[in-house]
A and B are shown apart, each in its own frame.
Chain A
Amino acid sequence: MYGLPVGFDASVFVGRKLDQLSFSENTLHLIFDSEISITVLSSISFQKGGASAEQRFEVPIGSTDLMMLLGRVVQRASAERSGRLILEFDGAYALTFEDDSDAYESYHIQIGDKRTIV
């Protein structure tokens, strides 16, 4: 709904390891090391290593291959004002978060004490 703030520095994700995935009724929580996490309230797209097609998961997520990402480290990250955040992991895996609604919050980024609502 809000997009990402202008100047949002996506590089903060680079070098971070995905430590934990947490599923709840209406959210998906991705916890990286160094007090960084993303809470997804809408959907994410997942690209497996080497695959050209993306898988898209809506929250609540019934089944997923996202566990493949656990322990992987973000190699590149990019952010767009539109709210799109792309995290590329080692092994050519990628996650894309989108601000896909003008009516609802799509995802939250928590970096230390700072929370960005997208």
Chain B
Amino acid sequence: MDPVTGLVQMKARWYDPDAGIFISEDPRSYSPTDPFSLHEYLYANADPVNWTDPTGEKGEKVTLYVGDGSGGRPGRNDYQYFEVTSETGASVLTLQSEDGKIKVACEKGSCTVTEGRDQFRGRGDWSKEVHRQYARQLDSKAQIAFLKGYFVNAPKSLLVGMLRLPYDLPKSVIDRLGNRIDTLLNAGTPQEFFIASWQLNNSGVPTPEELEAGVAALKTKWAEFKAAPPYEQAEMLGDLLGTVGWAIVAGKAIESATTKKLSAPDAGSSSTQPAKKPPKASPNFKTPTNPAQPPPKDVPRGWRVRQMSPTEQYPNGYWVLEKPMKDGSWQPIDPSTMKPGTRPETHVPLPPKKE
């Protein structure tokens, strides 16, 4: 049982012992001769005395859909996926990362892995229609996230978090999972959640302001969840669980060093050998040559704008225009000249946010 959500992992699916149902759809195909197959969240055909469903699925084959966890979110379009198709009975799949590549193994039988990359464009792609269309295309809608290069065998909390919860999830389940999140967020741990999840997309540590804002955002998200209509709650819960799940696994992956890091930023060394010498003094900050301005909406084809969080020198954050180089690197560009520039020329401050 997962200590965070109280759910039980039944191999291909997650089972909610309190509600007596699975929270994810049965990977098996729909069968007109099997009325229970039309109900996607039942455990053992609603008759646990006479039926067992030890693997959580009964399909002829299992297709596992694995995302990198960034899909479906605005601005994070890469959605790498692995479809794992196993022969009958080969229902136990193991995910392992090695050199940043995912390897999938079946406990028995054989399975084939199709690796690819899809492009999801914004939240709309997770609309009800597309979501369901995808569910029909795949034999399983279990989506298991992995952190590239970070973890081997996904912890349960992450799996739960990244399961795309169905829209018609019973309200009792939503409420109960939501209450658990509520408890977590009010147990003095949201700071750790935020820091851990923050570090998946950022380097270093968040500033105290970012931390405060991030925790407040988490709590706001939860308040919005409680006020949302049931249909929207399902999707929001998926995001909330995802956030928490990401944070938990990230916390494990980085050895739960978040607290130590806050109090002593340099104490969390991962060095394999003692430090030779302390970092040399920082050079003086030079006034950016470009005035504070929002990042450009139109950039030359292939170029990109990277926006960064606030720092001490850039209280509103900054952005960098980057040009792709033939060697695969990105060259910082001075937007005023559109030519390569030094750091004071290429780190462009963001203007204050309007109230």
Interfacial residues, chain A to chain B (CB-CB below 8 A): 1-12, 20, 22, 24-27, 29, 31, 34-35, 37, 39, 41-42, 76-84, 86, 96, 98-105, 108, 110-114, 116-118
A101 to B281, CA, bound (A): 7
SS class, residues of chain B in contact with chain A: loop
Given contacts A24-B340, A104-B344, A118-B203, list 19 more A-B pairs with CB under 8 A.
A2-B204, A3-B265, A6-B257, A22-B325, A24-B329, A26-B343, A26-B346, A29-B328, A42-B343, A80-B271, A81-B267, A81-B268, A84-B279, A96-B276, A98-B280, A102-B312, A104-B347, A114-B148, A117-B202
**B286 — nearest CB in chain A belongs to which residue?**
A103
SS class, residues of chain A in contact with chain B: loop
A82 touches B270 (CB 8 A): no
Give min CB distance, B44 to chain A, whole Å. 40
A110 to B54, CA, bound (A): 42
B279 touches A26 (CB 8 A): no
Contacts of A99 in B (CB 8 A): 279
Contacts of A110 in B (CB 8 A): 328-329
Cβ of B47 within 8 Å of any chain A Cβ, yes or no, is: no
Contacts of A25 in B (CB 8 A): 331, 340
B275 touches A84 (CB 8 A): yes
Given A76-B272, A81-B265, A81-B269, do A4 and B203 touch, yes or no (CB 8 Å)?
A: yes
A39 touches B330 (CB 8 A): yes
Contacts of A78 in B (CB 8 A): 271-273
A and B contact pairs by CB, cutoff 8 A, 11 listed: A4-B204, A4-B270, A7-B255, A24-B331, A26-B343, A78-B271, A100-B280, A103-B285, A104-B283, A105-B347, A116-B203
Given A98-B280, A102-B313, do A79 and B271 touch, yes or no (CB 8 Å)?
A: yes
Contacts of B341 in A (CB 8 A): 26
B328 touches A31 (CB 8 A): yes
Contacts of A118 in B (CB 8 A): 203-204
Cβ of B298 within 8 Å of any chain A Cβ, yes or no, is: no
Given A5-B254, A26-B332, do A81 and B270 touch, yes or no (CB 8 Å)?
A: yes
Contacts of A102 in B (CB 8 A): 282, 285, 312-313
A103 touches B149 (CB 8 A): no
Pick the contact of A8: B261, B270, B282, B340 (CB < 8 A).
Answer: B270
Given A3-B204, A7-B270, A78-B271, do A101 and B199 touch, yes or no (CB 8 Å)?
A: no
Contacts of A41 in B (CB 8 A): 332, 343
Contacts of B149 in A (CB 8 A): 9, 12, 111-112, 114
B261 touches A101 (CB 8 A): no
Give min CB distance, A100 to chain B, whole Å. 6
A113 touches B148 (CB 8 A): yes
A103 to B265, CA, bound (A): 17
Pick the contact of A27: B100, B285, B332 (CB < 8 A).
Answer: B332
Given A22-B327, A81-B268, A103-B282, do A6 and B255 touch, yes or no (CB 8 Å)?
A: yes
B282 touches A82 (CB 8 A): no
**B261 — nearest CB in chain A belongs to which residue?**
A6
B270 touches A9 (CB 8 A): yes
Contacts of A10 in B (CB 8 A): 270, 272
**A42 — nearest CB in chain B belongs to which residue?**
B343
